[in-house]
Amino acid sequence: MQQVFKRPISLKDVQTHFCPGCHHGTIHRLVAEALDEFGVQGRTIGVASVGCSVFLYGYFDIDVVEAPHGRASAVATGVKRARPDNFVFTYQGDGDLAAIGTAEIIHAANRGEDITVIFVNNTTYGMTGGQMAPTTLVGQKTSTSPYGRNQHKDGAPIRMAELLAQLEGVAFSARVAVNNPKNIIDAKRQFKKAFRYQVEGKGFSFIEALSACPTNWGMNAIAANERVGSEMADYFKLGVFKNTDNM
Amino acid sequence: MAKIVIDEIRCKGCGLCTLACHGKLLSLSEKINIQGYTPAAITFPEKCTGCALCAEMCPDVAITVFK
C-alpha cells in the first residue's frame, strides 16, 4: 500500500489553535501544498497578519515576519523589494485586509508588487470576538451588530476580489471556497496559478478564500460549512476575476 | 484495498469528513479524546475506496490515506 494523502512538507506537524470546523486549517494546507509544488519552501518569507492567522509562524515551516494589524502587504512590499529572489506571500483575514489594511492592500495591488496575497474571508473579526467586519453580510448578527448588519447604516459587504481586479497592477485575482471536496480541488488549482505568477515574476496575485467561522457565527461546524456554500457564495461569487496570462 | 488512518489526538470532531465520504463510512465516535472532542471513526473500513476526499476536507490534516 502506498500513501496517497499526506501532510505537505511546508506544514509543521503540530496541533493548531483553530476551532473545530474552521477553514483556516484547510487553507493553510493548500498554501503549503502550493509551496511544496513549486519547491520554494527554502526561500519563502511569509507575512502574517493580526487575527486568527497570527500564528502562521508556528504552523508553516518557513520564515515569517509578523506585520502590525492591516500592514501585511506593506511589509511584504518591503521584504520583496529588499530580497527580490525570495518568494513572498501574505496571509490576511477580512478584518485585517478589508478594514484596517484597506489602504495598504489597494496601493500594494495598484503598484503591482510582485507578491501573493491570500485573503481569508469569514465575514467577521474572528480572533477579537466576532465583531462586524466590512465583509459581514447584510442582516448578519455579530457582537457589534446585534440586530443584523443594516445596509443603510453600515453599507454593503465589500467584494475585495472584484475590487482589486479593476486595478492595473493586479495580474491575478480569484475567489475560492473550501466547503466541499470539489471546491477544495478547484481552490488548489487557483492557489497554484496565483503562486506561479510570482514564481515567474509576473506581478501581484490575489486569492480570496471564503471560510467558515463556526464559533463567531454561533453555529456548529456542519451548519457553518453549509452557510459558506449557500449564503456566502451567493453574495461572494466564486471565480477568477482577472487572469492576465490566461493560464 | 485502501485504508485511512485518523489521528484521534488531532481530530477536533468537526464532522466535515463525514460530509465528504461518498460511502457514508465516517461518523463521530462516542469516546472523548485528550482535547475533549469526539474524534471521527470509520465504520466499515473494508468498504473504503481510498478516494481521499475525507482527508482533503479535514481542516486539521488528521487523516492519512493509503491505497
B contact test, residue of A4, A5, A16 with most B CBs within 10 A: A5
CB atoms within 10 A of CB A67: 24
Is this prediction's ipTM beyond 0.85? yes
B64–A20: do the CB atoms touch at under 8 Å? no
Region B54-58 average pLDDT? 97
Residue-level pLDDT at A125? 95
Q: Is residue A36 included in any domain, yes or no?
A: yes
Q: If you measure CA to CA, which chain A residue comes closest to B11?
A: A20
Give A-chain residues touching B10 at CB under 8 angstroms.
15
A22–B59: do the CB atoms touch at under 8 Å? yes
Using DSSP, state whether A233 is helix, strand or coil: helix
Kindly report the CATH number assigned to the domain that includes residue A117.
3.40.50.970
Q: Which residues on neighbouring strands pair with residue A116, listed in sequence order? A: A89, A205
State whether residue B29 sits within 8 Å of chain A by CB: no
Residue-level pLDDT at A245? 85
CA dihedral B54, B58, B63, B67 (to 10 degrees): 30
Q: Which CATH number fits domain B3-66: 1.10.3720.10, 3.30.70.20, 3.40.50.2300, 3.90.1150.10?
A: 3.30.70.20
Domain containing A116 equals 24-243
- How far apart CA A70 and CA A56 sit, in angstroms, is 15
Digit-coded pLDDT (tens) for A118-167 = 999 999 999 999 999 999 999 999 999 999 999 999 999 999 999 999 99
Helix residue ranges per DSSP H, A42-173: 56-59, 72-82, 94-95, 102-111, 151-154, 160-165
Q: Is residue A188 included in any domain, yes or no?
A: yes
Residue-level pLDDT at A247? 53
Nearest to A51 by CA among A89, A78, A24, A82: A24
Q: Domain-by-domain residue ranges, chain B?
A: 3-66
B64–A6: do the CB atoms touch at under 8 Å? yes
Residue-level pLDDT at B1? 82
Region B27-55 average pLDDT? 95
Q: If you measure CA to CA, which chain B residue comes closest to A177?
A: B57
Digit-coded pLDDT (tens) for A4-25 = 999 999 999 999 999 999 999 9
Q: How many domains does chain A have?
A: 1
Digit-coded pLDDT (tens) for B1-38 = 899 999 999 999 999 999 999 999 999 999 999 999 99
Q: Tell me how far the alpha carbon of residue A162 is from its chain's centroid.
A: 14
How many CB pairs (< 8 A) connect A and B? 73
Which residues, in sequence order, are CB contacts of A160 under 8 Å at separation 6+? A94, A97, A98, A105, A119, A121, A135, A206, A208
B57–A180: do the CB atoms touch at under 8 Å? yes
Instruction: Choose the closest CB to B13 out of A6, A7, A20.
Output: A20
Q: Which segments of chain A have a pLDDT < 70?
A: 247
